[in-house]
Structure 1
Amino acid sequence: MSVIISVATEQDTEQILKLQYLGYQSEAELYGDWSIEPLTQSLTSLREEMADRHVLVARLGGEVVGSVRGWVEEDGIARISRLVVHPRMQRHGLGGRLLRAVEERLLAGERPVRAFRLNTGHRSLGNLRLYARQGYRQIGTRQVTPELSFVDLEKPVEAPLAAAV
């Protein structure tokens, strides 16, 4: 059985929230903070996000094993967040597939995109390696708590090749 990436539906909401809770346990442990937003988000809040953002899921049969969210701001910056893959499915390329899928979805939307941006914690070395492999480069860091800094990363949108004259 292969993993299929598709647009999330209302029926996926609870599975996404459970996956998010499971997937972010390692981040909470890494930073010693179980109050991080992905672990405290409510079902209502997730439903609100799903109404105004692009939310994709990776399915293995009927199970949601990955998810990612994205939206384009007025300045043309496409924000990507909450990329999560089930722990048993990690290190098989699914995170990269989800990232590329949400980038493609955002590019196909109504607002023009000039760059993609995301962030991760400074100790999240696996995440930083994934994003670097996908073309993201560090543009800054922000101290969030004494134990946590966010690393901000950006990937410019490639200009389409001009037609040969």
Structure 2
Amino acid sequence: MGMSVTISAATEQDAEHILKLQYLCYQAEAELYGDYGIEPLTQSLADLRAELARGHALVARLGGEVVASVRATVEQDGTARIAKLIVHPRMQHHGLGGRLLDAIELRCAAEGGAKRFRLFTGHRSESNLRLYRSRGYAPVGTEQVGPRLTVVTLEKECAPGDYAASA
């Protein structure tokens, strides 16, 4: 590719790019579960902008192009809810998802006081489950949300000092 990927905080100006990338990335999930009405495919630009304003959001850029993104919010009890980790299909399987996950954990711990991290994915999303498990996440619950979809919730604790050196 000749360029390196950089990770930085998402800005308001990134919203449209993130929404387009989200739409592209969630096509495979929609196909996997036979449901094109999932929230990432129906989210409006206004809703995305509001989501960016109330939490933490990161983007990965290749040159000027947004090629990956992740969002999170930290609740009062110290739980960071990580959501919508997306990587452009042509950039997948090169470690970018793991880098973004590490970066959002660091941001939530350093700036948001996170004590634990929680995320979810569909039960058939094997590559997602594999990534999360490789980063120390363990299943803590499942919920059947439709005839074809069971959501798996995964969590990991933030060990004291894990993120202090980089904060």
TM-score (norm 1): 0.95
> Following the alignment from structure 2 to structure 1, what is the Cα–Cα distance between the partners of residues 105 and 149?
27
Secondary structure of the corresponding residue to residue 145 of structure 1: coil
Partner of 1:29: 31
Report the Cα offset of residue 112 of structure 1: 2.6
Partner of 1:138: 139
Matched, 1:113 2:114: yes
- Alignment partner of 1:96 out of 82, 95, 98: 98
Which segment is superposed worse, 80-89 or 69-78? 69-78
Report the Cα offset of residue 160 of structure 1: 2.6
Query: Do 2:109 and 2:115's aligned partners in 1 also have CA atoms closer than 8 Å?
Result: no
Q: Which amino acid aligns with 2:103?
A: A
Partner of 1:11: 13
Report the Cα offset of residue 102 of structure 1: 0.3
Q: Which amino acid aligns with 1:70?
A: A
Secondary structure of the corresponding residue to residue 142 of structure 1: strand
Unaligned runs of 5+ in 2: 163-167
Matched, 1:148 2:145: no
Q: Count the aligned residue pairs.
A: 160
Q: Which amino acid aligns with 2:143?
A: R
Secondary structure of the corresponding residue to residue 24 of structure 1: helix
> Following the alignment from structure 2 to structure 1, what is the Cα–Cα distance between the partners of residues 32 and 116?
29
Moved over 2 A (4+): none
Percent identity, please.
65
Q: Which amino acid aligns with 1:14?
A: E
Partner of 2:40: 38
Q: Which amino acid aligns with 1:4?
A: T
Matched, 1:62 2:64: yes
TM-score (norm 2): 0.94
Report the Cα offset of residue 15 of structure 1: 0.5
> Following the alignment from structure 1 to structure 2, what is the Cα–Cα distance between the partners of residues 45 and 112?
25
Report the Cα offset of residue 146 of structure 1: 1.0
> Following the alignment from structure 1 to structure 2, what is the Cα–Cα distance between the partners of residues 57 and 158?
25
Q: Which amino acid aligns with 1:52?
A: R
RMSD: 0.9
